[in-house]
Amino acid sequence: MRTWFEPEEAEEFEAAKDLLIRRCVAWAEDHGHPVDGLLLSAAVDARHESRDGRLAYWDGACIRFFLLRYVPYKVTAPREKLDLAPEVLLTYLRYLDVTGLRDPRGVTVGEAEEIIAGTRAEYAAALDDPTLRGMATFWAYTAIDQGFDLTVPGAFERFKRELDAGRVPYDEQVLDKIMQNRLVYGGIEEERAFPQPPVTLPPAAELTEAARRSRTVQRFITLADWLGKDGRALTDAGNLRVADALEVSALLGTGEEQLRVRSAADLPQLNLLLAWAKKLRLTRTSKGRLLRVAKAAPLLRDPETLWRRAFEVLPELGRVVTVPVATWRPEPILAEVFDEILPDVLNSMYGMDEMPVIRLEETVWLACQEYFVLDQEKRLLDFWRREVARDLGRMFEILSDLGAVELSRGPADPLYASDLDHDDQPLPPDAVERLRTALAEPDLPLVRLTPLGMRGVRDRLLADGRDAPLVGELATAPPAELLGVLAQHYPPEDAVAELHGWLAQPGQDIETLVQAVRECPFRTRVGAMLRVLADALPRRRLLQDLRHDPVLGPAVWTQLIDAGEMQPGALSDRENLLLGAENFLSVLELAGPEELVEQLRRMGGGDAYEFMEAILASGHPDVVGMRELREQVAEPLRRIGRHPLRLVPTRPPGARGRRKKRKR
């Protein structure tokens, strides 16, 4: 049972969604919890369509988005049914919890209950506001209000004909507001983001000390001290006086105090620090003076928080990061898209070792050409490309002073040249040739994120709703949830590290993990969890020890047979039936009951219903799955009647956007 799918895995996702809804509805009815298939489907869709796509991950932002944005925008249903959405969502979260599907990095059921309770008034108001609907929902409700029963085939087409003929009244003001909202804010659709690799960070105390040592943080503190209580006078143009500018430059160590300038505006490093400090609300201007903000004193005494805030606002400072050093330089390209380029570059570096700067220069230059329509004359293109590379280099120097990146020199890892000849290479031929030549050099500028920078990028990724695993964050997670996350979101090496960290905690041992696998109600997830354990622990010992386990035996045999470590002939007749049940249950989860029925009907030799009766009598421990096999597979086969099968194998088939360009 997977709870994460690529957007293009439509069939696999739909099968998993049907399974989740089917099982959740049955569980809710058995336990007396409110449930509705349409609202469950909306909850699953909302997470699948999100930035990270994790069906079982829910935090406060996810809960509020679903209730206050997604349901009003996308779900068409009678009001009495929509009023149940908070309770149905809570039922779904409870089901994820009791089955071990919940992503432990989200909120607990208790926390979710409090969040949902806190949104009830807002949710009712959102349902009352028709301008929060999407276009499709608006027209669907209009059709219903005009007496069209959209559950009847062809009803919407008849409604559309009546609408086109001008015979359907509708609220034009509401429609105009919906269209205006979409133009200004866009819809609620989110583009799926690339999964990020797990990273390892040093202890919190080391990160705090690194923030304290940051050259930029120290400069902010020095600047505030230099301003004092009375501040410093500004010229009519709003700049520091030259003498003051040179004085503070010497104190800050920018290296600009020896420059002979006519205006403080000609000191780019000082101007950046002043603009940065103003953005952080460390300073302000009033009555011709640059003043220290008194309320910023706590921030200046907390270097770590100051560092985080400085890192957060840096993307907003493109105009001063890329400010021309000479007046003849035109407005830098990078200045206009800095707020998007900087996060993209940092994301590219996330989880990577030293990267050659030239590789980033080429990808940034390619991105800039997507944003702007540039003169294609080669001399001008080369000029713009060099200017972008120069500003990118300045950006890295600023990040280095902040302590977010580390700059060095040396040979590039062969990895960065290995894809230059691939057919799907996005870079143009001239860029590929430049890279091929440059990457062969033995002494290249290299860059990588520091641990402090890694944490800063991770914080931003999480705030953006993305999955950014951290090795060690699952150290106290419930065992079933731990194994589920490792199986889906961690490469084998990182899964091993995370698992051993979990086992190092008091009271957490292998038997606890094995028991969690035994209790898992999904056979495909049982197999995935066993693979995680087998990869992290001595494989032969673990699987061989579990070979005769009354609950896990069939899943273990499947893995041993697939690995060639066990022959099917070594199983008894009863064990073969158990193995057959294991495989059919897996197909039932992966493809659904209708597909399994069709597979059985297509098979040759024997009687499908009688074979299923033997499978159902095998004693397989999956009570819920075996009940579904009887009700949704065996019973349809019985009704269909006998169908000759030619062969009954032990393993049945199937077990297996950006801104518009602007002219320059």
Whether residue 258 is contained in a domain is answered as yes
**Full residue range of the structural domain in which residue 304 is found:** 204-321
Give me the number of domains the chain comprises. Answer: 5
Instruction: Summarize pLDDT for 466-501 with one digit per residue, the tens.
Output: 999 999 999 999 999 999 999 999 999 999 999 999
Provide the pLDDT for residue 652.
39
Instruction: Summarize pLDDT for 508-551 with one digit per residue, the tens.
Output: 999 999 999 999 999 999 999 999 999 888 656 888 889 999 99
CATH number for position 442: 1.10.10
Provide the pLDDT for residue 590.
94
* 587 shares its domain with 553: no
What's the DSSP call for residue 296? G
Whether residue 524 is contained in a domain is answered as yes
Whether residue 167 is contained in a domain is answered as no
- Kindly report the number of other CB atoms within 10 A of residue 641's CB atom: 9
Whether residue 664 is contained in a domain is answered as no
Backbone angles phi, psi at 232, to 5 degrees: -130, 150
Q: Quote the CA–CA distance of 466 and 208 in Å, as a whole number.
A: 24
Instruction: Summarize pLDDT for 90-114 with one digit per residue, the tens.
Output: 999 999 999 999 999 999 999 999 9
Whether residue 155 is contained in a domain is answered as no
Q: Are strands 662-663 and 372-373 parallel, antiparallel or unpaired?
A: parallel
* 391 shares its domain with 417: yes
Provide the pLDDT for residue 653.
37
Q: Residue range 44-53: average pLDDT? A: 96
Whether residue 276 is contained in a domain is answered as yes
Q: Helices 573-591 and 553-562, interaxial angle, to 10°?
A: 90
Q: Quote the CA–CA distance of 365 and 469 in Å, as a whole number.
A: 30
- Whether the Cβ atoms of residue 435 and residue 359 lie closer than 8 Å to each other: yes
* 293 shares its domain with 310: yes
Instruction: Summarize pLDDT for 552-565 with one digit per residue, the tens.
Output: 999 999 999 998 88
| Inter-CA distances, 30 with 26, 35, 43, 95, 621, Å | 6, 11, 21, 12, 19
Give the 3-state secondary structure of residue 356: strand
Q: Residue range 613-638: average pLDDT? A: 92
Top pLDDT among 225 and 659 is at 225
Provide the pLDDT for residue 425.
79
Q: Quote the CA–CA distance of 351 and 465 in Å, as a whole number.
A: 18
Out of 566, 584, 602, a domain closes at 566
Top pLDDT among 644 and 436 is at 436
User: Would you say residue 659 has pLDDT above 70?
Assistant: no
* 541 shares its domain with 616: no
Out of 461, 493, 518, a domain closes at 461
Q: Quote the CA–CA distance of 315 and 321 in Å, as a whole number.
A: 9
Tell me the CA end-to-end span of the chain in Å, nearest whole number: 51
Instruction: Summarize pLDDT for 332-381 with one digit per residue, the tens.
Output: 888 889 999 999 999 999 999 999 999 999 999 999 888 887 777 778 88
* 535 shares its domain with 454: no
User: Would you say residue 197 has pLDDT above 80?
Assistant: yes
Provide the pLDDT for residue 103.
97
Instruction: Summarize pLDDT for 585-598 with one digit per residue, the tens.
Output: 999 999 999 999 88
Q: Quote the CA–CA distance of 536 and 503 in Å, as a whole number.
A: 11
Provide the pLDDT for residue 370.
85
Q: Which of 40, 32, 42 is nearest to 92 (CA)?
A: 40
Q: Helices 333-349 and 378-402, interaxial angle, to 10°?
A: 60
Q: Quote the CA–CA distance of 291 and 285 in Å, as a whole number.
A: 6
| Inter-CA distances, 497 with 261, 457, 494, 504, 589, Å | 56, 22, 5, 11, 30
* 441 shares its domain with 484: no
* 599 shares its domain with 513: no
Provide the pLDDT for residue 661.
45
Backbone angles phi, psi at 6, to 5 degrees: -65, 150
**Poorest-pLDDT segment among 116-125, 322-331, 542-551:** 322-331
Averaged confidence pLDDT in the chain: 90
Q: Residue range 570-584: average pLDDT? A: 92
Give the 3-state secondary structure of residue 646: strand
- Whether the Cβ atoms of residue 374 and residue 381 lie closer than 8 Å to each other: yes
Q: Residue range 390-416: average pLDDT? A: 95
Whether residue 188 is contained in a domain is answered as no
Provide the pLDDT for residue 539.
58
User: Would you say residue 656 has pLDDT above 80?
Assistant: no
Provide the pLDDT for residue 657.
39
Out of 518, 550, 566, a domain closes at 566
* 451 shares its domain with 345: yes
Question: Which residues of 411-567 form beta strands (DSSP E)?
Answer: 444-449
User: Would you say residue 580 has pLDDT above 50?
Assistant: yes
Whether residue 657 is contained in a domain is answered as no
* 431 shares its domain with 502: no
What's the DSSP call for residue 193? P
* 390 shares its domain with 270: no
* 241 shares its domain with 315: yes
Cα 639 vs. chain centroid, distance in angstroms?
45
* 362 shares its domain with 448: yes
Burial of 467 (0-12, 13-18, 19+ CB in 10 A): buried
Percentage with pLDDT > 70 across the chain = 94
What global pTM score does this model have? 0.87
Instruction: Summarize pLDDT for 259-301 with one digit per residue, the tens.
Output: 888 999 889 999 999 999 999 999 999 999 999 999 999 999 9
